[in-house]
Structure 1
Amino acid sequence: DATFGGIAYKAHACLGCHTIEENGKLIGGPQSAALQNAGQRYNADWLFRFGQNPQDFTPHSGEFLADATEPQLRAVIGFLMVQGVKDFTYYEPWTSREFEMARVDRGKVIYKEYCSQCHGATGKGDGPAASGLEPKPAIHANIPFEKLPMEYLYNVINHGGPAVGKSPNMPYWNLTIGQQGVADVIAYLKVTFKGVPDMAAAPGGEQGGTCVQPRKTAKAPDEFLAKTNPLPASAGAIQAGKTLYLKTAQPVACAMCHGEQGDGKGIMGAALVPLPRNFTCGSMMKDISDGQLFWIIKNGSSGTGMMPFTGLPDEQVWQLVQYVRSLAK
């Protein structure tokens, strides 16, 4: 919620007048109240009342009235309440009573009514809407849902694709099916879809782990193509990149799609069309510049399942580039 609130905070131009801290730096216009320590200064209930109509509190002050929905406002407040608070303890909605009461039979009904329109009745990504979508809907039949991080699974269903850097064609279902519906659908997904035993059984006839993979990847702007990695290929930089790749990159670790070995055989990889890049393919990787890799990691790749990692500081992206380079054979 806090991450989604940060996106809404920027989308509704709050950054124009209020400062926050991002990656160790203050950003935003220093015109109105500074919010980088908002979590230490404000009460969430007061902020909610203020956010519903700021001009009731500060008339004729130039305070902006945003066209934000109530869920967006609540998310923005969640974002503000973590500002300046070290080791903030986040609420985990998947520990709520709705998840304790989740039922697979109800989730099956919801899946048929809503999810199957894109993902197909049997989760093969062949629903009636799929033919007109790019990127293609995830092939649920190929995903071992019980192995996915619950935080990721909850956020992509509850808040929609953009909340985790995925396609905006994936709707936010929280208002439509409610918290109980989200819990029921997740229960159904975990029981029904167990993934494929071998990533070689890939969608569309493409082989998982294929070396040179056909792509229509957008070319980075010239200013990026000219860049070379400013970090040396040291053991420290590569290890830092490995930690990001396997565990800590957000919104999801790279290995989830690209595989722990970098061969494109991650547990989510078989669900994607086209399949994830195989970083072990030296003949392919030698033709991709450092700047192109940096730009794709930061901005994602349109028409694929590659999400943008806009929140990663530049240094961490370069560490990832060094580690990915080390995988090539």
Structure 2
Amino acid sequence: MPQGGGAACSKKDQRIHKNKPTTDESDVRILFCCVVSHRSRNKSETSRRWTDACLGRCGERSECGQPTDMDAVGRPRSGSPPRKRALMNLRKGVVVGSMVFALVGVLASPPLLLASDHTRAKELLQQTCVHCHRLEGTAESRFKLHAPDLIWAGSKYQRSWLIRWLTGKEAPLYVKGYLWDLTNVPTKHPIVTEAEANALADYFAEHKKDPRVTGGAFDLSKVTKFEVKFGAATYKAHACLGCHTIEDNGKLIGGPQSAALQNAGQRYNPDWVYRFGQNPQDFTVHNGEFLADATDPQLRAVIGYLMVQGVPGFQYYEPWTSPEFSKTDVGRGKVLYREYCAQCHGLTGKGDGPAASGLEPKPAIHANMPFDKLPIEYLYNVINHGGVAVGKSPNMPYWGLTIGQQGVADVIAYLRVTFKGIPEAASSAGSEPSAACVQPRKTAMAPNDYLTRTNPVPASAGTVRAGKELFLRTAQPIACVMCHGEQGDGKGLMGGALVPPPRNFTCGEMMSEIPDGQLFWIIKNGSPGTGMTAFGGMPDEQVWQLIHYIRSLAK
């Protein structure tokens, strides 16, 4: 029995159709019957009789009540009068044309065949879903809702996730239930069949689209690894952890009061999430979300952070491999540097621009930095996203929106060609530590609960090796060696550009006076008034490993 459920064509009919080299009325009728019988969902006696009539197997009269002068395969019977045969041929032409037209309609109009699926979807929605979900209307207060609105479900959810959810293959979205109260009993969602889930997904896609959502507004293929880290920091800064659980460094963090977001990348469509983030109150009034105060780069970073959740092996975009970086122009970069960068960094990169006097910390001295040796990823992030984005001073603006991607690429090209750093600093790697030991600092003291902490990670050769790997290579957004040098003496490639200079970790006298908790606090939060980057995204265990290695450098 064919999948469609109708009566199959007989082997005789199929053989006739297969063996005839030309197409006449009988071919068309047999082909049409085969299609209809395979597609038909009606197994009634009426359907079978209609099929038999179509194939001409019902004797002298067809099922439509008209006499026929054709044999079983549609040939005129012998002895038919010429006039009668002419009329019969005319009628045959009309029948053939009608059958061809109907056949094309059946093949080209799948929505007609899916009408019953849409009907079933509407029945499910009206009989079950409406008891909790709203299917129509405008934004309503969160306190008046019993379940998430499905008004925009066709734009909000990814189809594959929606089907898994409806068939009971996904974990509960609201661990404590949807209602904003102190209950801890989640509502058990009804489960439907695979076919019903597909029908509902089709219905949502056709009837529950959000006209406010612009397709392609958020390009998931352009999400960078740095933006995801920046998004994580912004997400936490907006107190999202108070309601949502999410995965962070392999651990589940946050509160279970609202939708779990650890698999958000499999669940939501990024264009819808982006529009939601622009003003959540447009969707659910009094919902506690306030991402609307975030800048567009911050919002996009948060969306990127959410969309990689639950997506193993996500392919991050590397903007320095984009076409803009293959067509850089040093001349254009020089013009941009003079128009924007020189205000603080000076025309010759000595950090003496007209705006430098009012800044604390002072601008980096580009003339002392070997830009051709610095990681392209770091240069791109600090110029495109600004100082705060890499844990540095907010005095460094984010220039990506102002000069564009081509401008960022051109400025980097100019920096790399123009500034080569201090020769003696570049050759100091491996030399004896500087005689300068105790360095004056205005670093703020960590809170008391940090100052009293001691390193909880046991000291061992393996721990020190792990810290060394972070120091020299893997710490993000930039390895410590770039400023503090291979010896930890503050003579890294970027060290000569910073005012004040980086810490000299080889100074035992100074390091012995800095508690573990203070070091932990500075690494996590940076040091205002200096060039010390904040490594807020580094896991605590790695910070403690790094502290073990730093202490091993002291003399």
TM-score normalised by structure 2 residue count = 0.55
Q: Which moved more, 1:304-313 or 1:133-142?
A: 304-313
Name the counterpart of 2:414: 188
How far apart, CA to CA, are the structure 1 residues paired with 2:298 and 2:534?
A: 21
- Indicate which of 279, 286, 289 corresponds to 1:64: 289
Name the counterpart of 1:326: 552
Name the counterpart of 1:117: 343
- Cα displacement (A) at 1:200: 9.6
How far apart, CA to CA, are the structure 1 residues paired with 2:464 and 2:249?
A: 21
Could you give the per-residue CA deviations for residues 31-62 of structure 1, whole angstroms, max 9, x where no partner exists? 32211111222232332233344455x44472
Contact 2:498 2:530 in 1 (8 A): yes
Name the counterpart of 1:108: 334
Name the counterpart of 1:171: 397
Contact 1:125 1:138 in 2 (8 A): yes
Name the counterpart of 2:477: 251
> What secondary structure sits across from 1:266 in the alignment?
coil
RMSD, matched Cα: 2.2
Distance 1:15 1:92, change over 3 A: same
Residue 84 (str. 1) matches residue 307 (str. 2): no
Q: Which residues of 2 match residues 137-286 of structure 1 at below 5 A?
A: 137-199=363-425, 210-286=436-512
Contact 1:263 1:278 in 2 (8 A): yes
Contact 1:200 1:209 in 2 (8 A): no
Amino acid at match of 1:113: E
Name the counterpart of 2:523: 297
Report the count of equivalent residues: 324
Residue 50 (str. 1) matches residue 276 (str. 2): yes
- Cα displacement (A) at 1:169: 0.7
Greater C-alpha Rg: 2
> What secondary structure sits across from 1:21 in the alignment?
strand
How far apart, CA to CA, are the structure 2 residues paired with 1:132 and 1:35?
A: 43
Distance 1:82 1:112, change over 3 A: same
How far apart, CA to CA, are the structure 2 residues paired with 1:59 and 1:52?
A: 13
Q: Which moved more, 1:23-32 or 1:149-158?
A: 23-32
Distance 1:10 1:122, change over 3 A: same
Distance 1:291 1:105, change over 3 A: same
- Cα displacement (A) at 1:302: 1.5
Amino acid at match of 1:93: P
Q: Which moved more, 1:10-19 or 1:34-43?
A: 10-19
- Cα displacement (A) at 1:247: 1.1
Distance 1:200 1:50, change over 3 A: closer
Name the counterpart of 1:204: none
Distance 1:284 1:178, change over 3 A: same
Amino acid at match of 1:233: A
Structure 2 residue ranges without an equivalent (≥5): 1-226, 428-432
> What secondary structure sits across from 1:180 in the alignment?
helix
TM-score normalised by structure 1 residue count = 0.91
Amino acid at match of 1:62: N
Distance 1:283 1:62, change over 3 A: closer
How far apart, CA to CA, are the structure 2 residues paired with 1:208 and 1:143?
A: 19
Could you give the per-residue CA deviations for residues 80-114 of structure 1, whole angstroms, max 9, x where no partner exists? 11112223211011111111111110010010010
> What secondary structure sits across from 2:293 in the alignment?
coil
> What secondary structure sits across from 1:83 in the alignment?
coil
Distance 1:209 1:18, change over 3 A: farther
- Cα displacement (A) at 1:223: 2.9
> What secondary structure sits across from 2:473 in the alignment?
helix
Contact 1:264 1:279 in 2 (8 A): yes
How far apart, CA to CA, are the structure 1 residues paired with 2:273 and 2:247?
A: 19
Of structures 1 and 2, the one scoring higher in RCO (CA 8 A, sep 6+) is 1
Structure 1 residue ranges without an equivalent (≥5): 202-206
- Cα displacement (A) at 1:167: 0.3
Residue 17 (str. 1) matches residue 221 (str. 2): no
- Cα displacement (A) at 1:128: 0.8
Name the counterpart of 1:41: 267
> What secondary structure sits across from 1:26 in the alignment?
strand
How far apart, CA to CA, are the structure 1 residues paired with 2:448 and 2:298?
A: 37
How far apart, CA to CA, are the structure 1 residues paired with 2:435 and 2:328?
A: 37
Distance 1:59 1:290, change over 3 A: closer
> What secondary structure sits across from 2:396 in the alignment?
coil
Identity %: 76
Contact 2:446 2:517 in 1 (8 A): yes
Could you give the per-residue CA deviations for residues 272-314 of structure 1, whole angstroms, max 9, x where no partner exists? 0111111112222222222222222122212111122122222
Amino acid at match of 2:552: S
